[in-house]
Amino acid sequence: MADRRRPVWLLGLILTLGTVLAVTLAGLGVWQFQRLGWKKDLIARVEARLASDPVPVDSLIGQPDPLVEYQPATVTGRFAHDRELLVKAVTELGGGYWVLTPLIRDGAPAVFVNRGFVPPDQRDPATRDDPSPTGEVTVTGLARLTEPGGAFLRDNDPEGGWWYSRDVAAMADAVGVPEVLPIFVDAGPSDPWPVGGLTVVTFRNTHLSYALTWFALCAMVVGGMVILIRYERAGRD
């Protein structure tokens, strides 16, 4: 009968590599469980923040970024509608644009306000049913962090007037606003156009499925090594 046994060195190498792979996969599973705990804590903190009372937007300056994003905030000033910018957007209402308008304040830096969404046929302010607010206004909404650079695979083109992300510093430079806060405010619900209150506050949470996948792969590797050991033992009998 032919000898089915593998060389000892080869068997040892296979088992060593299998052990390293199994430990790595198990470590990835544990890491994903840790990430799951972090994500749940993040979601809980953001939900609590969303339910909190609005604070003056200036009080958020200097705070850590995680404490700024989605914090209800208020700001008072006058809209500079002649400096309005449109940022490409896809929302529950379809494709179109965010309307970003600087809110000018006396003795304080301007604040860009995302007044809401408009469809392509509402690009021109003159086509919108609701006249743009004039005079001093108070805006209540959610504080948002600046989005420098652009969107995935698309860079902002200030000279061409094409914006794919809400880059506060670049927008201020493009429309000649000398001083602006490094955050912007998503305005609350409004109707008809622009439609506010469309901020999407969701967090992708697939850590549990990833953890189970890593542990399943680890179990498969361990199972394969057990089968190999039994096969080798049978070949030596």
Report the SS3 class of residue 197.
Answer: coil
Reported confidence tier of residue 95, pLDDT bands at 50, 70, 90: very high
Residue 52 lies in a domain: no
pLDDT at 4: 58
Mean per-residue pLDDT over the chain, rounded: 87
pLDDT at 215: 93
Do 183 and 209 belong to one domain? no
Contact predicate 14/228, CB 8 Å: yes
Q: In this predicted model, which residue has the larger pLDDT, 96 or 149?
A: 96
- Is 70 exceeded by the pLDDT of residue 87? yes
- Is 50 exceeded by the pLDDT of residue 20? yes
Do 120 and 24 belong to one domain? no
- Is 90 exceeded by the pLDDT of residue 86? yes
Residue 55 lies in a domain: no
Mean pLDDT confidence for 36-58: 85
How many domains does the chain fold into? 2
Do 91 and 143 belong to one domain? yes
- Is 50 exceeded by the pLDDT of residue 45? yes
Residue 1 lies in a domain: no
Q: At what angle do helices 8-50 and 207-236 cross, to 10 degrees?
A: 170
Do 82 and 148 belong to one domain? yes
Percent of the chain with pLDDT over 70: 93
Contact predicate 175/104, CB 8 Å: no
Mean pLDDT confidence for 182-195: 87
Percent of the chain with pLDDT over 90: 47
Q: What is the pLDDT of residues 63-85, one digit of tens each?
A: 888 888 899 999 999 999 999 99
pLDDT at 151: 63
Enter the tokens of residue 181: 């806060």
Residue 2 lies in a domain: no
Do 227 and 135 belong to one domain? no
Do 101 and 13 belong to one domain? no
Q: What is the pLDDT of residues 142-166, one digit of tens each?
A: 999 998 876 666 888 888 888 999 9
pLDDT at 1: 45
CA distance from start to end of the chain: 12
Do 128 and 25 belong to one domain? no
Residue 133 lies in a domain: yes
Residue 61 lies in a domain: no
Residue 79 lies in a domain: yes
What are the backbone dihedrals phi and psi of residue 33, each rounded to the nearest 5 degrees, phi first?
A: -65, -40
- Is 90 exceeded by the pLDDT of residue 227? no
Domain range for 136: 71-187
Do 228 and 145 belong to one domain? no
Residue 65 lies in a domain: no
Tokens 């498969």 locate to 220
pLDDT at 185: 95
